Amino acid sequence: MWLKPEEVLLKNALKLWLMERSNDYFVLQRRRGYGEEGGGGLTGLIVGTLDSVLDSTAKVAPFRILHQTPDSQVYLSIACGANREEITKHWDWLEQNIMKTLSVFDSNEDITNFVQGKIRGLIAEEGKHSFAKEDDPEKFREALLKFEKCFGLPEQEKLVTYYSCSYWKGRVPCQGWLYLSTNFLSFYSYLLGSEIKLIISWDAVSKLEKTSNVILTESIHVCSQGENHYFSMFLHINQTYLLMEQLANYAIKRLFDKETFDNDPILEDPLQITKRGLENRAHSEQFNAFFRLPKEETLKEVHECFLWVPFSHFNTLGKMCISENYICFASQDGNLCNVIIPLREVLAVDKTNDSSKPVIISIRGKTAFRFSEVKDFEKLVAKLRLKCGAASTQYHDISTEVPISSDSADPSDNIEVLSLTCKRECSRTVNTEALMTVFHPQNLETLNSKMLKEKMKEQSWNILFAECGRGVSMFRTKKTQDLVVRGIPETLRGELWMLFSGAINDMAANPGYYAEVVELSLGTCNLATEEIERDLRRSLPEHPAFQSDTGISALRRVLTAYAYRNPKIGYCQAMNILTSVLLLYAKEEEAFWLLVAVCERMLPDYFNRRIIGALVDQAVFEELIRDHFLQLTEHMTDMTFFSSVSLSWFLTLFISVLPIESAVNVVDCFFYDGIKAILQLGLAILDYNLDKLLACKDDAEAVTALNRFFDNVTNKDSPLPSSVQQGSNVSDEKSSHVRVDITDLIRESNEKYGNIRYEDIYSMRCRNRLYVIQTLEETTKQNVLRVVSQDVKLSLHELDELYVIFKKELFFSYYWHLSHPVLKHHDPSLPYLEQYQIDCQQFRVLYHLLSPWAHSANRDSLALWTFRLLDENSDCLINFKEFSSAIDIMYNGSFTEKLKLLFKLHIPPAYTEVKSKDASKGDELSREELLHFSQLHVSKPTDEKEGESVKNGPEKGKGKVDIQAYLSQWQDELFKKEENIKDLPRMNQSQFIQLSKTLYNLFHGDPEEESLYQAIATVTSLLLRMEEVGRKLHSPTSSAKGFSGTVCKGNTESHLEKDLSSLREEPQWSFSFEQILASLLNEPALVRFFEKPIDVKAKLENAKTSQLSSRTKM
């Protein structure tokens, strides 16, 4: 490898380097200890340790070339090599291309400049094809070289970054280097002859956390497949941890969680991942989550500055965050003051010549924001003016439809105007009013105390709007949060939910979208629409709005439109309850965008088949319980109690457990504070019931206590009519249980647990996602093993090991092949056995690793035929059950079973004539040839294909599931009888010849090779004589010619070919399996060969260790 020329003092270097070659201008050196017997003794050992600890390139590149000029002690290192061959190539190039030119120069300085320029040119040329785009390309190139040499991973594996750290082996720290790549966490250390090499794939990580104890001040704990690893002594531990977290989650999303993340371009191509890219991605995700922005937004710039708060008359310090379409500000104390300014609202960006470097942003509604002490404020103003110009043109065609007055008091009104035209078109079908205003209009004539309180709340909000502004760009302060905790007034709920959730931005960016989707989804019939119809009448059935066709139709339209928009989620139970509450307070189109905000941003992955998001947040909740309620944690024998109880809390935002009049206050807080509000309230509920829970003897008692508590939660200020209030019936009765007001409960949750930070929740979600998905994967594995273990002789432990190897091979295929169809369509909702399936290429790799017959010369053909035999449904994929059945026969099958397998491999449908296009490769098949031969039998009649699609799984499109077909398939499997050897078809002559060849190949290299060859020759001769006698009895004129009675080891195959050609002219002859079996049983050597016990444990261990290296060789 050519190196950027750097000065080296040869005087000191001679102690560590030995001269190999030299001339007037260049020196080739070898590192002391390398290539010497015994590693160069003590000196070599010390040098090796120094190289490892000091991160010397010499550890993996023990040869180097220096450039020297006469009469100078300073040399320049210009190349290094991992072996003599590589460095010699560089040396020869220098002698042929550089040496002749150097004599032309007059001065040594000119010679040095010329050499440096030439070497830099070579590096630049190499860099064109390299994907190492880092801050310091030189150091990264060296690290990349070490990474490749140390771990031997395929060259497609992308190194992201590397760190110096200590790995704790027991209580001993080993100093070395941690390499983070797209698919692996790798560590290398070499100390005084002791080498440590560790490779952990990200998809195997189940726990990743920062820990600290007495010995380790601060370390990163990685748990993989039950093993714990600790890394410490990082220079920037937070940065390292963030990158590890990002890479682990990236792998999990790409490999296991294909339900939601297919549309993410960053996850599609591992080669695009860089350290800077991952850091930016993490910051963008946190930025979008905090400000509730569309997930497409990317954080571009962050500036520390002051914002003038007009109603408080002071400047607050914070950060201005800029993305493609928004300018956001958050004060250092997150609750003090936050502002979101959509660029579509900006009218002007100005600067003044004030010493405070101010940037003034004017928006519609005669409002201006003054940012001061902004670094590079002139550049920022220029950028923002450019952005706002782009934003204006983006919304130009929308805003010109209806002229917007700059005097508008409420910028949120603009959004209603934007989609006015589309609303007119579909006004007949889409409700333009919230259901609450239709079914519970406020009657000003009958003002009671509750209505007066409601009016006072409205007045408080109006005062706030006068101070802080109204609409998207209002100041969000501590006062805003206090008003939300008290409960948003009924008339403002829809508007403020849209505002705080960020749904207002989605709606503004997609005018007319809802009406279009409603139109397209009307009349569609699929599994989602059937489930929606079934659940419509179960959504708030006691509310008059959903006892009428108006409410039911609106609910149907919103849910069906969302299922059409996002078919990956479609419809999930709990969405109906949530949507019905949204429709009460928001207009129909707004309810749709609120649902989008909840499902796709605020509660990611909640509403899919595996409800991963809800499980992750439950794990976060459990973590918080452990932190805040140590006594309760010790009392509860099993923490899963909290998971089972709290699932409905998270999925329905407490709507399903609290009376509707109290639940809406929780939804208010959720839209303002996100999942933080639900976690805080959950902790407050446990705190309130702590004594009762500690007194409970079992889970059932604890559930009863909590249910009783929820029944007694009231909202004394709710203006809802008593006929609608769910808690009113309870509250009227005389009861010994204490009433709890929802406002007090929410206020208490804020006071006690309001210090939980958004950043901590984000980090806990990332950490627990690994654990949740690995737990689901473990459940899948256990279910597969339970089913498969009934049909094989392999032990559960051996099956477990085999499953790990099987799945790992599937993932290896996807690590470096981006458009792999198998994992592209991985669907966790499929039956357990069908979730992971391999193709013929992957099967071949596993066959080479695991099969006791893999030493055979025609092993590729055997792998192909075995795959074709197992692929009964002709979809070119096999599952673990099919795979393990073949491996089990090879390992544990009796003589008859193994022979039957070989027999079936040499008759259709498994057998097909195989010939490699490249004769020099012999029996070896290329990937393309292998896949071609595996697909030869795929074509089927149309009706069969249709039957197959029903058999493979539920219809995911518009059709219905054929339950009858499922039942008949299940019945067939139950009554599938044992295959009788008499039922096997006969083997013709060409197939028999191939079977004989296969047997000869299998015996090659065996200790009893001679006797085995003799035995098979005897059997072959005997069978042919039997066949000849049989034919003479039927037809005396025909006889088998030319088949040799004895077959020698040397010319077996040529004899077989000769006999085959001579017999082709004869009438076809064939053998039954019984004939072949009976003949082979007479040869003890053959029986011994097939009944020889196989060390399954050793075979599996060897496959696990060589699986990655075999992939590298390929």
Three-state DSSP string of 897-930? HHHHHHHHHCCCCCCCCCCCCCHHHCCCCCHHHH
Tokens representing 421? 């035209």
pLDDT on residue 420: 44
pLDDT on residue 949: 42
If you average pLDDT over residues 20-42, what whole number do you get?
74
Name the average pLDDT for the chain.
81
Helix 895-905 × helix 859-870 angle, to 10°: 90
Rounded Cα gap, residues 483 and 63, in angstroms: 72
Task: Identify which of 6-15, 926-935, 1046-1055 has the greatest average pLDDT.
Answer: 926-935
Where is average pLDDT lowest: 83-92, 159-168, 461-470?
83-92
Give the DSSP letter string of 666-688.
HHHHHHHHTHHHHHHHHHHHHHH
Q: pLDDT band at 649, cuts 50/70/90?
A: very high
Contacts of 160 (CB under 8 A, 6+ apart): 180, 181, 182, 243, 247, 273, 274, 275, 278
Share above pLDDT 90 across residues of the chain, in percent, rounded to a whole number: 38
In Å, what is the CA distance from 745 to each residue of 31, 924, 973, 1055? 72, 72, 56, 92
Q: pLDDT band at 788, cuts 50/70/90?
A: very high
Q: Characterize the bridge pairing of strands 326-331 and 337-342.
A: antiparallel
pLDDT reading at 418 higher than 50: no
pLDDT on residue 19: 85
If you average pLDDT over residues 335-357, what whole number do you get?
86
If you average pLDDT over residues 169-195, what whole number do you get?
86
Q: pLDDT band at 305, cuts 50/70/90?
A: very high
Q: Which amino acid is at 789?
A: S
pLDDT on residue 573: 81
pLDDT on residue 377: 85
pLDDT on residue 338: 92
**What are residue 839's phi and psi, to 5 degrees?**
-95, -175
Rounded Cα gap, residues 672 and 741, in angstroms: 20
pLDDT reading at 541 higher than 80: yes
Beta bridge partners of 599: none
Better-scored residue on pLDDT, 501 or 442: 501
**What are residue 934's phi and psi, to 5 degrees?**
-70, -20
If you average pLDDT over residues 99-112, what whole number do you get?
82
Rounded Cα gap, residues 628 and 905, in angstroms: 63
Task: Work out whether the CA dihedral 1102, 1108, 1109, 1111 comes out positive or negative.
Answer: positive
Nearest to 400 by CA among 421, 384, 379, 426: 421
Share above pLDDT 70 across residues of the chain, in percent, rounded to a whole number: 79
Where is average pLDDT lowest: 226-235, 781-790, 910-919?
910-919
pLDDT in tens, 1019-1068: 988 888 887 777 777 665 544 444 443 444 444 445 544 454 544 445 56
Tell me the Cα Rg of the chain: 37
Rounded Cα gap, residues 972 and 904, in angstroms: 22
If you average pLDDT over residues 164-182, what whole number do you get?
87
